[in-house]
Amino acid sequence: MPGMWGDHLGVVDLVLNNDGGKWQVGQAKAEARPIYDPLAKQSLAAEDGSMVTVLKADHDATREFVSKPIGRASDNMYSFLALVQDDPTVQVVNMAQKAYVEHFIQGDPDLAKLPVLSAAAPFKVGGRKNDPASFVEVEKGQLTFRNAADLYLYPNTLVVMKVSGKEVKEWLECSAGSSIR
């Protein structure tokens, strides 16, 4: 695996042999090469000027996109205590999921009047090393796509299910069981 946030480069080195028109892997080696030093906050790889030129427009467009405002936070949000108390970083994800589904089912005579519940999990709550980068910190004020990506790290697909009250109760019991120590 090449790591995350571009900190490693995944390299697969294959030696291929052509045996009578049929290719076979003779040797294989895979490694994850570090290309970023998080302590020094600097790249370990030399910049390729030609790639910078080719990718500049796309890079600039991406930075512009992630800086677009998508809402406002009425208070600072952080996930330091997300595993032990109600947490705004999880709540804002819940609210966004719920609003999306409510908009999606609007006008559907079979679904529009049903209650919508949302479940979300805390994602950045310390990680394995409890380093500061493994928590969410969003300052009060304008929210951008960059903040949303920090709040919701994974490219998960939102799934909507129609369930009974009994199924919700069973799910809540199962979920609560993870908090009992």
Per-position pLDDT tens, the chain of length 181: 667 777 899 999 999 999 999 999 999 999 999 998 888 989 998 989 999 999 999 999 999 999 999 999 999 999 999 888 889 999 999 999 999 999 999 999 999 999 999 998 888 888 777 777 789 999 999 999 999 988 888 888 899 999 999 999 999 998 888 776 5
Q: How high is the pLDDT of residue 6?
A: 76
- Per the structure, the complete domain to which residue 4 belongs is given by 1-46
Tell me whether residue 57 is in a domain. Answer: no
Alpha carbons 59 and 130: distance in angstroms, whole number: 31
Flag whether 53 is in a domain: no
**Any domain includes 63:** no
Q: Are residues 145 and 88 in the same domain?
A: yes
Residue 51 located in a structural domain: no
- Residue 2 counted as domain residue: yes
Residues 40-50: b if buried by 16+ CB within 10 A, e if exposed: eeeeeeeeeee
Q: Within this chain, do residues 123 and 40 fall inside the same structural domain, yes or no? A: no
Do residue 79 and residue 155 come from a single domain?
yes
- Predicted TM-score (pTM) of the model is 0.68
Report the distance separating Cα 74 and Cα 80, nearest Å. 18
166 and 83 assigned to the same domain: yes
Quick check: is 131 in a domain?
A: yes
Same domain, 18 and 78: no
Does residue 62 fall inside a structural domain?
no
Considering the domain architecture, whether residues 4 and 38 belong to the same structural domain is answered as yes
Secondary structure of residue 105 in the 3-state scheme:
helix
The number of distinct structural domains making up the chain is 2
Residues 91 and 33 in one domain: no
